Structure 1
C-alpha cells in the first residue's frame, strides 16, 4: 500500500513499511525512509506504481482550468478537495485525479484559501482581482527591472532614472525596482553606486556630486534664502554718531562679508589711537525674528574653494558689510597707544564709520611685507598706519608670549577657480598682513570678553587647556593664544556665536537688558549646535580642498611629484595641501623628501594610487 501525504507544505508519496495507527513508517521511491503522522496522509493507493504517481498527478493538474474551478466554487462556503474532484470529473475520482485537484488547489492560493487539511474556500471576486492585479504588477516590474539591469550592465543610463537621480545617489528607497537593479549591477561589476552612475554618464560634474551631497544632508531645503525681503532689509540705525576717522579693511580678494576695518589716528606726544571696527548686524537682526532663526539654524558661513554658503542673505550682508565709501554701523574698540606701543586706555562705541579703502591681500602683500618693512618703504597707501599696526602687533605678541610662535611659519593655501580651472597659491601664515589682522582681532575678542565678564553679562567664550579647545559660558584662559579669556565677537556676519556676543556687548554699551542670561538654556543650546555645525562645515571644506587638489593634479598632468614624510606612510605633497598614504613607503624619518608616482585619480571617491620611487 502507498500513501500520498503532505510534509512541510510539500506533497510526497511513499510505500508503507509499518502502520502504527497514529504514525506510519514509509519509504520513498529513491529509498529514503521517514516516519510521518497518520494525520498527514491525504489518500492511500495501490496503483499506479509509486514512481509514476506524482508524474501522472502533475500532468493531470497541468490540464486543469484554475479559473473554471474557481467559478465552480464561488457559491460554496467551504469544500473538500475530494468533493470538488468528484464534481469536476463526474465520477468518484481516482487517486491520481484526487491528488491532481489537491496539487492545483495548493498551487493557487490567490484563488483558493486553505481552511484545513483537504478543505478550501474560493477567494472573493474582489480579493481575487486585487491579487491578480498585484501579480501582474510584479511581473511587469520584474521585466522592467531586468531591462534596467541590462542597460546598466552596458553603462547606459535608463531614462526613467533621471528624475530619481538625486534620491538614488544620496537617499535611496531600497524597495524600488530602480534601486534593486542598480544594486544588482553594482554587485556584479564591483562598482559603487556613484561610480556606476558616472560610467553611465549620469554625473556630468563630480564637483556638483560632492556639493549636492553636502546640501542634501545639511541643507535639505536648499542653500537659497526663502525669506520675504522685509525680513532681510533693515532701516539705517538712527542717532548714531559718525566717526571722524579714515578706516580701511584688509581681506581676501573674494571676501564679501567684510566684518572688520581698522583706523589709526595721531595723538599728542607721539601716541596714537587704534580703531578696531566690527560690522554691527546685531543692531538690525532681532532675536527670534525669521532671519535670526535662519541664522541660528545655519550657525556659520560654509567655505569651500570657489564658492560659499553664507549665514546671512546677500541683501542683509550688503547692508552691513564694510564696503568702501559707504557709511555703515559698527561696534568699535578704540585703543590709545603710547609711543612704546603700550595700551594706555580703551573705549568701546557704537557708531557709523566710512571705510575709505578695501585693501586686498593679493595686492597689499606686494607692498606690505617683511622686505618693505625692513627697508622702511612708505610709497603705498596706508603705509604709515600699517607700520604702526605692525609694531603694535609685535608688542602684543610679546605680551601674549607668542613672539616665537611656530604657527607663524606654517603655509596656508588659497584656491582660485575660474572657468573650472584651479589655481592653488601658497601663503606663509606669519606674514605681516596676517599677524596685524590676527593680533587686532585677538585683542578685540579678548577685551570685549573681559568687558562682558566684568559686567556679569552672559557671553560665549572659547578656552584652551592642555591642547583641548572648548566653548562655554565661563571666561577661562586660552593657552594657545596666551590670553585670560576669549570671546568670539569679530565676525558677526559669518558666525552666529559672534552675533550673540555682539548683542550682549551692545546691551552693555547702551545700558539695555541683555538678550540672553546665564540661566537661560538658549546659550548652551547655541554652543552645542554651533560646535556640531562648525565641525561638519570644516570637514566639508577639507574634503572639497582635497577634491580640488586632485583636480589640480589632473589639470597639470602631474604623475611624478616630490613630497615630505609626515609620519609612518603619510606624505605631504609639494605645492598643494594634499596628504596621501603611500603603502610602499619605507621606514623614513619625518621631514624626509621623497619622490612619488601618482596614478588612478578618482574624483568620485577622492582617492588616488601612490608609489614610492626614491628618497631625494
Structure 2
C-alpha cells in the first residue's frame, strides 16, 4: 500500500513498510524512511508507484484552469475529493486527486485553506483585489528591473531624480526605487552615494555632504518665507563715531567700537551691538524662524543665515548710517586703564566705517601700534583700544590662573578657507593679531559685563560657564540660565550677547538686557523670560543640539575642502607634524591624518608622508610614513603644534572664546578658525573675536 501525505507543509508519496497504531512507517523514493501519522494521510493507493503518482500529479496540476476550478467550486467549503468528482465527472484517480490538491494548495488567492484537504473559494471581490495586487507587483518588478538596467548603464531614471536625497539618507526600503538602487549597487559592487555621483543624481561629493545636512536640518529647504520688517522705536542719536572690524566678506556685522576722549582726560569706549531685539518680538514670525534655526550655519564657500537677508540688512551695522544698537560704555582712567564706570544704553549709533582685516592686518601690527607709525584709518583709536585690550587680557590671565589653569598660549595658527568657482585656497593666519585681540577682548568684556548686569537685576539669561565640581566638570563648558564663572576665559560670568544677528541665544539675552534697561528693579516681572522659565531651559537644550550639529557639519566640510585642496595641488608627498601618538596634522593645511602603527615620535616632531589615496565621499585619507625629519627642520612650527596639542589640558577648558568667534562666510569665501578635524578643533587656546 502507498500513501499520499502532508509533511511540514509539503506533499509527498511513499510506500508503507509497517503500521503501528495511528502511525505508518513509510519509505520515500529517495530511500529515506519517515513516520507518518494517520491524520496527515490524504490518499491511500496501490497504483501507480509513488514516484509516478507525484510526476503525473504535478503534470496534471500544471494543466488545470484555476478560473474554471474557482467557478466549479462554488461558495461552500469542500474537500478536494468532492471537487475532483465534480470536476472530472467521476471519482478521481489517485494521481488526479493528488494533482487537484496540489493545484488548490498552490493558489491561496483563489482558495482559502480550511483544514487538511479542505478549502473554500475566495469571494469574488477579494479575488479581484488579490489579482490586481499581483498584477501590480508584476509591473513593479518589471519597472524595478528597468531601473536597475538604467542605473547600471550610467543613467538616472527620471522618476528617481526628485528622490535622490531621500533614497540616500532616509529611504523607504520597501519602495521599488530603493530596491533598484540597492540591486544595482550590489551588482556593480559600489555604494549608493558613488552610484548617484556616476549617474548624475549628485553633482559632486560636496553636494552629497550638503544634501545630507539639508535633509536632516532643513528638510523644507534653506530659504525663508516672506516676512514683514519690524517697526523700530524712536531712539536718541549717540554722539560717537563708531567703526566695525570684520572680515571683508562679513554681512552680519554685529558689533562696532567707538573711542571718545572726554574733557577730564578720561576715555569713554563704546561697544555697540546690533539690536534686532528692538524689532523682533518673542513669538512673532521672525522669532519663530530664528528659534527654528538657532544659529547661522557656516561652511567654506557659503552660509545659511539665521535671519532673512532683509532683516539682517535692517539691523547690520553697515557704514554710512545711524543704526539701532545696544551700547555698553566703559569710562576708563588712561593712566592705569582701570574701569571707572559702565553704562548700558539703547540708541542710534552712527557707523562711519567698516574696517576689514584683509586691508589692515598687515598694517596694524604690534610694532606699528607700539611706535605709532603707519598710515591707516583710526590709528589713534586703535592704539588706545590695543592698550586696553592688553590690560583686559592680563587681568583675565590672572583670574584664570587663580582658578588653577595655565596661561593661554598665543602661538596657535588658524587657517582661512577661500572658495571661488569650486577652487579652494587655504591661507595660514596667526592667531592673536592686534585687530583680532582688540575685538576679542572687548567682546569678552561686554559679555561678562552684561552677564553681571542681568544677574544684578535678578533677570535670567543664557550663560556659558566652566568650572566647579570635580576635575572633569571643571574642564567642561556648559550652558546655564544663571551666572557662574567661566574659568577658561578667566571671568566671573559670561553671557553670549554680542552676536544677536547670528545666534539665537544672543537674541534672547538682548531681550533680557533691554528689559533691564527699560524697567530697572521691576525687570524680573517684565522680562520676556522669567526666573526658572521652562522655555528658557528648552532653548538652552535646543541650541546646544543645533550648534553642535552645525559645528560637526562645518568640520566635515572643511575636511572635504582640505581633500579638494590636495587634489587641486596634486599633492602626493607632504610634511606633517605629530599632534599625539598616531595623530598628525599636515603643515600646509589643517587636515588631520591618523597613521596606525606609526613609530613613537614626540609631539611637535615633523615627518614626511606619502599620500596613497583619499576619499571625498567618506572623507578618509591613507598615508605612509617616509621619514621623521630632524628636530631643527622647523622649530617654530614644532612650538606652534605643541601649543596646539595643549599638553596636560583638555580642549573643553580652552575653546570658549573661539566658540564666540564668528566664522564669516559668503559666496566664494569663508574665514574660520581651524576646525578641519575634531582633533584640531579640540586644541584651541587663545581667545577669538566675535568677527575674526
The aligned runs of 1:268-307 (5 Å cut-off) are: 268=263, 270-307=265-302
The answer on 1:234 being equivalent to 2:230 is yes
Give, in whole Å, the separation in 1 of the partners of 2:99 and 2:214: 61
Deviation of 1:405 after TM superposition, in Å, equals 4.5
User: How far off is 1:534 after superposition?
Assistant: 1.0
| 1:474 and 2:449 aligned | no
Corresponding pairs, count: 611
Secondary structure (helix, strand or coil) at the match of 1:243 reads coil
CA drift of 1:154 comes to 4.1
Residue of structure 1 aligned with 2:321, choices 313, 326, 335: 326
Contact 1:584-1:612 at 8 Å conserved across structures: no
User: How far apart are 1:551 and its partner, in Å?
Assistant: 1.1
Deviation at 1:270, TM superposition (A): 4.0
**TM-fit CA distance, 1:269:** 5.2
Corresponding residue for residue 594 of structure 1: 607
1:129 matched to 2:131: no
Distance 2:26 2:76 in 1: 35
The separation in 2 between residues aligned to 1:108 and 1:66, in whole angstroms, is 8
| Alignment match, 1:260 | 255
Helix, strand or coil for the counterpart of 1:256? coil
- Structure 1 residue 369 corresponds to structure 2 residue 368: no
In structure 2, the residue matched to 1:96 is: 95
Structure 2 residue aligned with 1:433: 435
**Which string of whole-angstrom CA distances, capped at 9 and with x for unpartnered residues, describes residues 38-83 of structure 1?**
0111111111122322112212222222222222223x41222112
Listed as ranges, the gaps of 5+ residues in structure 1 are none
Corresponding residue of 1:108: 107
CA distances 1:294-334 after superposition (whole Å, capped 9, x unpaired):
21121111111111111111111111110001111111111
**Which SS does the other structure have where 2:362 is aligned?**
helix
Structure 2 match to 1:26: 26
Aligned to 2:637: none
Which whole-Å CA distance do the structure 1 matches of 2:216 and 2:414 have between them?
29
Q: Deviations over 1:384-441 (max 9, x none)?
A: 0000000011111111126994442211121111122112111111111111001100
Q: CA RMSD in A?
A: 1.7
* Aligned residue number for residue 391 of structure 1: 387
Q: How far did residue 584 of structure 1 move?
A: 5.2
Q: Summarize the Cα distance change of 1:195–1:407 in structure 2 as closer, same or farther, 3 Å threshold.
A: farther
Counterpart check, 1:487 vs 2:495: yes
Contact residue 461 and residue 473 of structure 1 kept, 8 A? yes
Instruction: Give me the TM-score of the superposition, normalised by structure 1.
Output: 0.96
Q: 2:579 aligns with which of 566, 581, 602?
A: 566
Runs of 4 or more off by more than 6 Å in structure 1?
A: none
Q: 2 CA distance for matches of 1:17 and 1:351?
A: 107
- Structure 1 position 350 matched with structure 2 position 346: yes
With 360-369 and 18-27 compared, the bigger mean Cα shift is at 18-27
* Distance change >3 Å, CA 200–CA 586, structure 1 → 2: farther
Kindly indicate whether the alpha-carbon contact (under 8 Å) linking 1:408 and 1:431 is maintained by their aligned counterparts in 2.
no
Q: Could you say what secondary structure the match of 1:589 adopts?
A: coil
Kept after mapping to 1: 8 A contact 2:450/2:513: yes
Relative to structure 1, the CA distance from residue 444 to residue 543 in structure 2 (aligned partners, 3 Å threshold; closer, same or farther) is same
Q: Any conservation in 2 of the 1:19–1:25 contact (CA below 8 Å)?
A: yes
Q: Please state if 1:50 is matched with 2:50.
A: yes
Q: 1:449-474: CA deviations, max 9, x gaps?
A: 11111121212211111221111122
Q: Report if aligned partners of 1:271, 1:338 keep a CA contact under 8 Å in 2.
A: yes
- Give the superposition deviation at 1:22: 1.8
Counterpart check, 1:212 vs 2:214:
no
Query: Aligned-pair distance for 1:478?
Result: 0.8
Q: Does 1:248 align with 2:243?
A: yes
Where relative contact order (Cα < 8 A, 6+ residues apart) is larger, the structure is 2
Q: Is the 8 A contact 1:407 1:430 kept in 2?
A: no
- Deviation of 1:10 (Å): 0.9
SS at match of 1:273: strand
Q: Describe how 1:183-194 pairs up with structure 2 within 5 A.
A: 183-194=182-193
Distance in 1 separating the partners of 2:583 and 2:135: 57
SS at match of 1:423: strand
- Measured in 1, the distance between the counterparts of 2:62 and 2:453 equals 93
Q: Distance in 1 between the 2:460 and 2:158 partners?
A: 58
Deviation at 1:487, TM superposition (A): 1.0
**Residue 560 of structure 2: aligned partner:** 547
Tell me if structure 2 keeps the 8 A contact 1:583–1:611.
no
Residue aligned with 1:244, SS? coil
2:268 aligned counterpart, secondary structure = strand
Question: How many Å apart are 1:114 and its aligned residue?
Answer: 1.7
Q: Take 1:582 and 1:101, find their aligned partners in 2: how far apart are those partners?
A: 69
Alpha-carbon separation, structure 1, partners of 2:509 and 2:224 = 24
Match of 1:461 in 2: 463
In the alignment, structure 1 residue 510 sits paired with structure 2 residue 518 = yes
Residue 152 (structure 2) aligns with: 153
Cα distance, 1:149 vs structure 2:
2.7
**Which of 199-208 and 528-537 deviates more?**
199-208
1:535 equivalent among 548, 559, 578:
548
Of stretches 580-589 and 292-301 in structure 1, the one that deviates more from structure 2 is 580-589
Report the Cα offset of residue 255 of structure 1.
0.9
Residue equivalent to 2:683: none
Q: Identify the residue that residue 400 of structure 1 maps to in structure 2.
A: 396
Indicate if the aligned counterparts of 1:584 and 1:611 stay in contact, CA closer than 8 A.
no
- 2:605 matches 1:606: no
Give the superposition deviation at 1:601. 2.5
**Is it true that 1:174 corresponds to 2:182 in the alignment?**
no
Report deviation, 1:99. Answer: 1.1
What does the per-residue CA deviation read over 1:482-530, in whole Å, with 9 as the maximum and x for residues that have no partner? 1111111111111111111111111111115211111321111111111
Q: Is the Cα contact below 8 Å between 1:407 and 1:429 reproduced in 2?
A: no
1:441–1:490 contact (8 Å) kept in structure 2: yes
State the alpha-carbon separation in 2 of the partners of residues 64 and 397 from structure 1. 94
C-alpha distance in structure 2 between counterparts of 1:202 and 1:498, whole Å: 39
Q: Find the partner of 1:417 among 416, 419, 433.
A: 419
